[in-house]
Amino acid sequence: FCAFLYYNNCNTKISTTRKVKVIEHRTEVKKFPKCRRKNTVQYGEKVKAIAVYLTQYQLIPYKRGSELIDDMFGIKLSQGTIVNFNKCCHDALRPIENNIKNSITNDAGAIHFDETGIYIDKKRQWLHVASNYKSIYYQAHEKRGQKAIDEINILPNFTGTAVPDCFKTYNKYSNCDHSLCNAHILRELNGVSELEKQAWQNQ
């Protein structure tokens, strides 16, 4: 599918007369060398990039992302199509993801570990993070504790200094040194002050 956007010259406001002018319909068939599966390509890379950017970076729901692309560019994308764009992007980024993961695992310095609750398809899950001064690795998992940490497989092989919060599961890993995160310690002290009405932590 080839589409060309013709924009009106307007420096101060968005024109409401912008439309996609379809001058040709084209499909391209690609065959993957390993699995020999054929895929039919209909949309250009810019359309795919916009859809991924809106739903993954700006966190716009698929339905609203589809409506926004239609409103702005006159291109009607189904929510399923956007899901497929995201899957293709995910697969293409896998080597980079592995490089980040390996870089953090093999770092001999200090690595921050943490997890926070999120919802995926209305189900409670956990977003795990491992980061150093130059790289961050995120992975969602249905579990918070050791099962997730083992399957993510960074901390079990890490030999530097782990810097987590007070979540006791982190202390089960003995291949590395341990240090508590200062930001979490300060948060705990603030909690003592606010909830317990104690003043010793301010001294």
CATH 3.30.420 fits 96-202, yes or no: yes
Q: What is the reported pLDDT for 79?
A: 95
SS3 state of residue 104: helix
Q: What is the reported pLDDT for 1?
A: 32
Smallest CA-to-CA distance from 166 within 187, 137, 142 is with 187
Which pair of structure tokens corresponds to residue 35?
């699995």
What ranges do the domains of the chain cover? Answer: 2-92, 96-202
Q: What is the reported pLDDT for 28?
A: 57
Q: What is the reported pLDDT for 107?
A: 95
Q: What is the reported pLDDT for 114?
A: 96
Smallest CA-to-CA distance from 20 within 74, 66, 98, 99 is with 74
CB atoms within 10 A of CB 20: 16
Cα dihedral 193, 199, 200, 203 sign: positive
Tens of each residue's pLDDT in the chain, 203 residues: 333 333 333 333 444 445 666 666 566 566 667 666 666 557 888 999 999 999 999 999 999 999 999 999 899 999 999 999 999 999 999 999 999 999 999 999 999 999 999 998 899 999 999 999 999 999 999 999 999 999 999 999 999 999 999 899 999 999 999 999 998 888 888 888 888 888 776 66
Cβ 104 vs Cβ 137: under 8 Å: yes
Which pair of structure tokens corresponds to residue 131?
């980061």
SS3 state of residue 8: coil
Q: What is the reported pLDDT for 195?
A: 87
Full-model pTM? 0.69
Give the torsion through C-alpha atoms of 95, 100, 102, 103, to 10 deg: 140
Smallest CA-to-CA distance from 125 within 103, 145, 110 is with 145
